[in-house]
Amino acid sequence: MMEKYYNDEEEVAVLYSPGFGAGWSSWNDETAILFDKDLVQLLIKDDIEGLIKLTSEKYPNVYHGGAKNLKIYWLEKGSVFEIEEYDGSESVHIIGGRAYNVA
């Protein structure tokens, strides 16, 4: 079972790729890569190579082309959101609750 990563304010980390060229979740059917605690921890440490390696091991059918542009969006628990994509660039659209981007 995949665990989510929460900060001290009990907000959940959502991984998304705002760079053009390749999306993260929008180019994959595996929704767990949005929230995976292990992947978030590697991104926080700025270990992109480790993140790509672990993604390949845990999710062998996932395309990780958007990994180099990954960012974390912090969402209040229970928020409803969707990932919007244009030309590979993803953005987080909040339907309910509050959120902010951590660059």
> In sequence order, what are the residues at sequence separation of 6 or more whose Cβ sits closer than 8 angstroms to the Cβ of residue 74?
7, 9, 11, 12, 13, 14, 99, 100, 101, 102
Of all residues in the chain, the percent with pLDDT exceeding 70 is 91
**SS3 state of residue 50:** helix
Tell me how many domains the chain contains.
1
pLDDT at position 2 = 76
**Band of residue 76 on the pLDDT scale cut at 50, 70, 90:** confident
Question: Quick check: is 40 in a domain?
Answer: yes
| Cβ–Cβ under 8 Å, residues 31 and 25 | yes
Question: Quick check: is 24 in a domain?
Answer: yes
Question: Quick check: is 98 in a domain?
Answer: no
Question: Quick check: is 99 in a domain?
Answer: no
**Band of residue 103 on the pLDDT scale cut at 50, 70, 90:** very low
Span 66-94, average pLDDT: 90
Question: Quick check: is 1 in a domain?
Answer: yes
Question: Quick check: is 88 in a domain?
Answer: no
Span 34-42, average pLDDT: 96
Between residues 57 and 77, the one the model is more confident about: 57
Question: Quick check: is 100 in a domain?
Answer: no
| Residue 27 lies in domain | 1-81
Q: Where would I find the H helices in 47-86? A: 48-58
